[in-house]
Amino acid sequence: MKTIVKYILYITIVFLALAGASFLFIEKHYDSENGMRNVVMNRIAKDAEVALRADQEYTADLNAYRNVFPKSAVPDRAELIQPGEQFSDNTMVRDTRGSEFFYSVSAGEDSVVFLHFCYPADSRQFTEMLVLGVLLITYGILVILLICGYRLMIAPFHELSDYPEKLAKGRLEAGIPESKSRIFGKYIWGMNMLKDEMGHKDRTLRAMEKEKQTLIVSIAHGIKTPLSNIKLYAEAIERGIYHEDKKADPKDAETAEKIRQNVEKVEVLLKEIIDSSSDAETDYRPVIESFYLEEIAKSVKKEYGSRMELLHIPFAVVCENNPLLSSDRDGIVRVISQLLDNAVKYGSGQGIRLTMGRQDEDVIISVKNKGQVLSEEECAYVFKSFWRGSNAKNKEGQGIGLYVAKKISERLGGDLFMKNWPEEETMEVTLILPMDACG
């Protein structure tokens, strides 16, 4: 809303400047016109004075003046009035809009007559009111168009603007709420369709990746057993166990040592393969910035509020205090999103509560939900790669979400924990983060 107020303020300033410039132009125009009228009246008065001093009758030839001066500067009438003449009321009353003027003219020794000039009524006030009216109407129309445009296009577009970024970052947890808007309805439908398609492809790739990683780990573990046997055979050769006299041979011992060294090299390679297979799912580089915890709360509430409402799941977001953090905002939101997705997927739909706040030098974020409770033994394995609990039957997934969330938490210097409350049929996952992430 601050944006629309700022734009209205800009428009107001522009229209005030236009109004000021318009009135200044009108004033200059009419001042110039009045100056020209004075020139014409002075010329007529001089011509009249010359004629009267020559004892000639004088009648102003206004058409002759119109050929020389602008028509607006020449009066409609110019009449001589004798001092002893009985003036009518109309003659004596000075028009308040400056349409009548009186000039004294010398007609000879001690003889004075008056010239009465009549001009059309001064339209300055009408022109100013007309310009002001046009500016006000235009200003009102622009403000109304701006407000309507903001509500119909800018505000919805602003809400949708960060959605492609979320898709790019793999945050496919929540679609955009459907809208009947004729402007954005088809766009929202298309984006949700894109999200579903990307989610399907992502699940397919994860399943293939899982099979590949499982195969690699299985092969690696399978190789470890024969390697151990080779090491045992090398040790037996070194000790001379296969000789009839059971005495060690120096050459055999040297060969056995070379075999053991090569086996150890292969074991190192196998360990690297297993470790890289475990870490392959977490391609995450934190971007450290400063922000308030309440910003996270508002972002999550905005993103999941409508979704929970559609699913008829009671949803509460509680921010107990609002400390300033130095961490990765997107990384934290990604972890919270994973926890909320799991709460929706594996919960009973009776309610989800997200609580966050500062405790000592850490930030504690927890997600509680009702649903099938995992045992203490299972809670110890939920953060393992490709592991799925007993509540995952007939549920989509590859058992990688909590593993990735755990890795992100650790990259930010924190950790994830799961606790069960069997008596309340409640599961709780807690994220602990330092106030200042190491990055």
Q: How confident is the model at residue 205, as a pLDDT?
A: 74
Print the domain residue range for 419. Answer: 289-434
Q: How confident is the model at residue 94, as a pLDDT?
A: 42
| Cβ–Cβ < 8 Å for 84, 107 | no
Same domain, 294 and 430: yes
Same domain, 383 and 318: yes
pLDDT band of residue 389 (cuts 50, 70, 90) is low
pLDDT of 170 over the 70 cut? no
Same domain, 294 and 428: yes
Same domain, 297 and 425: yes
Q: How confident is the model at residue 349, as a pLDDT?
A: 83
Q: Which residues contact 380 (CB under 8 A, 6 or more apart)?
A: none
Closest-CA residue to 313 (of 348, 274, 355)? 348
Q: Which residues contact 240 (CB under 8 A, 6 or more apart)?
A: 246, 247, 248, 249, 252
DSSP for 354-379, please give it: EEEEEETTEEEEEEEEEEPPPPHHHH
Same domain, 116 and 14: yes
Same domain, 107 and 240: no
Among the candidates 256, 279, 302, a domain finishes at: 279
| Cβ–Cβ < 8 Å for 262, 276 | no
Q: CA geometry: angle at 184 spanning 181 and 190, to 5°?
A: 125
Q: Does residue 175 sit within a domain?
A: no
Q: Does residue 89 sit within a domain?
A: yes
Q: Does residue 377 sit within a domain?
A: yes
DSSP for 41-96, please give it: HHHHHHHHHHHHHTT------HHHHHTTS-GGGS-SEEEEE-TTS---HHHHSPPT
Among the candidates 228, 251, 279, a domain finishes at: 279
Task: Indicate the number of domains in the chain.
Answer: 3
Same domain, 249 and 347: no
The C-alpha atoms of residue 303 and residue 217 are separated, in whole angstroms, by 38
Q: Which residues of 76-109 are buried (b: 16+ CB within 10 A; e: fewer)?
A: eebebeeeeeeeeeebeeeeeeeebbebebebee
Whole-number CA gyration radius for the chain: 46
Q: Which two tokens stand for residue 153?
A: 């296009």
> Per residue in 303-336, pLDDT tens?
888 778 878 889 999 999 999 999 999 889 989 9
Same domain, 231 and 294: no
Task: Match 């509560």 to its residue by tokens.
Answer: 353
Q: Does residue 145 sit within a domain?
A: no
Q: Which of 83-87, 217-221, 236-240 has the lowest mean pLDDT?
A: 83-87
Q: Does residue 142 sit within a domain?
A: no
Q: How confident is the model at residue 87, as a pLDDT?
A: 45
Q: What is the pTM of this model?
A: 0.47
Same domain, 111 and 220: no
The C-alpha atoms of residue 260 and residue 234 are separated, in whole angstroms, by 7
Same domain, 252 and 362: no
Q: Does residue 41 sit within a domain?
A: yes
* Beta-bridge partner residues of 318: 355
Q: Mean of the pLDDT values across residues 44-56?
A: 85
Among the candidates 279, 300, 326, a domain finishes at: 279
Pairing of strands 347-359, 315-319: parallel
Task: Match 């909590």 to its residue by tokens.
Answer: 402
CATH number of the domain to which 373 belongs: 3.30.565.10
Same domain, 321 and 404: yes
Backbone angles phi, psi at 56, to 5 degrees: -110, 150
Q: Which of 84-93, 201-210, 290-299, 371-380 has the lowest mean pLDDT?
A: 84-93
The half-sphere exposure of 438 on its side-chain side, counting CA atoms within 13 A, is 7
pLDDT of 340 over the 50 cut? yes
pLDDT of 97 over the 50 cut? no
Helix (H) / strand (E) element for 233: namely helix 185-239
Same domain, 308 and 416: yes
Q: Does residue 81 sit within a domain?
A: yes
Q: Does residue 394 sit within a domain?
A: yes
> Per residue in 227-257, pLDDT tens?
777 877 788 887 777 776 777 778 778 888 8
